[in-house]
A and B are shown apart, each in its own frame.
Chain A
């Protein structure tokens, strides 16, 4: 007979669409939920869905969703016994994970030590290399001085990336194409990293041009680790993903098997607990893949994996972190078909993606088999200006990639969000692009495409208005 989880009451230390997503998973597990909210979010969809709401501070994230003390107090006052951090905010803050566990609560994520290790991008690189995971050619950890850095850059060959060790997620990166440029940029990168992240450590990696971004979803319980295959997220703007797929149509079976095995090896090397993603660059030209970083949380694009594997990763991570084990073995995880997710942001693609908060005057959600919309919207909702611009994610599944793209295009037609501009017209145009249909893309493909198709987006934007 199935016993209930030891966890009974889950506090969600996040907001927006992911908070709604976690509440849904909690409900399915029979857990009560406590939603924290800033003063600007008391009327959010997550607050409306949750059993209880705790107001934790003023609108600005530093005074609310990043205030670990206020969140912990809310958890204790409301009798929560576990905290789900979502993504962003405190999700990869080792100090927060420590504080949660010290207070006797369960943190739905890895140990603070794992978060700390993987958050230090130079240390994570060494961990990956020691676990036998191919890394991008570059320095052995943080570089001590400019001369050493330049020697590394010259050995691996230009162009190189100068990265902040405390960065990640595309932040704190500079590209140097010559020794002269390197001498100028490296000190700047170091002082910028000190200002932005409070850590001036930098490291050097070869810039692999025209690479794809691929990533492996893993789930661990601290003892065993399984993978849920690969996602591809090569369509990016300013190093931020906008369109994600599973599986990666660019990989053959042999490459996919090697990639997944390496991600499991890395996760096993740190006795990983919770949901995690190991990110790589894949070079079509050589067929090689290279580790970039490991994200120690649930990711925005997790639904595409859920669609092809028929699994619920948020439920999986809650169970695993609550000490219930994985409840499945690698052989139980079978993938089928193709899924695509697009990120609907409150941004105007016709005016250089200017963020544009406003009031939702009309909402029509696309319906149909194998169409999913994870979001934070309702009719009359005033989108606050204080947080990131992600409103929701439209996800489709089909037996193969061409049909998934076609289903995405028709689902976009069935989606209506009025009252504020969104990035929906961008995705209709991308679905129509020959390169996207042929999967002839890489991580800087979209910037070039945008420059050439700006007019198309403007005319589509006007039609939609």
Chain B
């Protein structure tokens, strides 16, 4: 059970990387601080960075890179 779930405030397409040929923002086991960018959500052809709203260690990603995301859906789990 995740101790904290970072959710997307907007619907769109979920991306773990800033660009297709760049490494992911964060991986499982990485420590994140509040305010760190953990993902991008593309909505209507514009890209919005999603920031961590708590600190913790990344424990999982419920979605695959490039999958659709609904507003309010968890995109990063912190352990």
The 0/1 profile, CB within 8 Å of A marked 1, for residues 1-43 of chain B is: 0000000001111000001000000000000000000000011
Told that A58-B68, A357-B44 touch, could you supply 16 new A-B pairs with CB distance under 8 A? Answer: A40-B68, A59-B13, A59-B68, A60-B66, A60-B68, A347-B44, A355-B43, A357-B11, A385-B10, A385-B12, A385-B13, A385-B68, A386-B12, A386-B13, A388-B45, A389-B44
Q: Which residues of B contact A281 (CB under 8 A)?
A: none
Q: Which residues of B contact A346 (CB under 8 A)?
A: 44
The binding surface of chain A is classed by DSSP as: loop
B46, A385: Cβ atoms closer than 8 Å: no
B11, A385: Cβ atoms closer than 8 Å: yes
B43, A357: Cβ atoms closer than 8 Å: yes
A387, B44: Cβ atoms closer than 8 Å: yes
Q: Which of A58, A59, A195, A385 contacts B44 (CB 8 A)?
A: A385
Q: Which of A58, A385, A389 has the most CB of B within 10 A?
A: A385
Measured CB to CB, the closest approach of chain B to A140, in angstroms, equals 33
Could you say which interface size class chain A belongs to? 10 to 19
Q: Which residues of B contact A40 (CB under 8 A)?
A: 68
Q: Which residues of A contact B66 (CB under 8 A)?
A: 60
Count contacts between A and B, CB distance < 8 Å: 36
Measured CB to CB, the closest approach of chain A to B67, in angstroms, equals 9
Q: Which residues of B contact A59 (CB under 8 A)?
A: 13, 68
Q: Which residues of B contact A388 (CB under 8 A)?
A: 44-45
Q: Which residue of A lies closest to B12 (CB)?
A: A385
Measured CB to CB, the closest approach of chain B to A386, in angstroms, equals 6
Measured CB to CB, the closest approach of chain B to A146, in angstroms, equals 25
Separation of A194 and B11 alpha carbons in the complex (Å): 30
Q: List 26 A-B contacts (CB under 8 A).
A: A59-B13, A59-B68, A60-B66, A60-B68, A195-B19, A346-B44, A355-B43, A355-B44, A355-B45, A357-B11, A357-B12, A357-B43, A357-B44, A385-B10, A385-B12, A385-B13, A385-B43, A385-B68, A386-B13, A386-B42, A386-B44, A386-B68, A387-B44, A388-B44, A388-B45, A389-B45
Q: Which residues of A contact B42 (CB under 8 A)?
A: 386
Separation of A217 and B13 alpha carbons in the complex (Å): 36
The 0/1 profile, CB within 8 Å of B marked 1, for residues 367-409 of chain A is: 0000000000000000001111100000000000000000000
Separation of A240 and B65 alpha carbons in the complex (Å): 29
Q: Which of B12, B13, B44, B45 has the most CB of A within 10 A?
A: B44
For chain A, residues 155 to 197, give those with C-beta under 8 angstroms from any C-beta of chain B. 195
Separation of A357 and B13 alpha carbons in the complex (Å): 13
Separation of A357 and B70 alpha carbons in the complex (Å): 11
Q: Which residues of A contact B11 (CB under 8 A)?
A: 357, 385
Separation of A252 and B20 alpha carbons in the complex (Å): 50
Q: Which residue of A lies closest to B13 (CB)?
A: A60
B68, A355: Cβ atoms closer than 8 Å: no
Q: Closest 8 A-B residue pairs measured CB to CB?
A: A355-B44, A385-B11, A389-B44, A385-B12, A385-B43, A355-B43, A388-B45, A59-B68
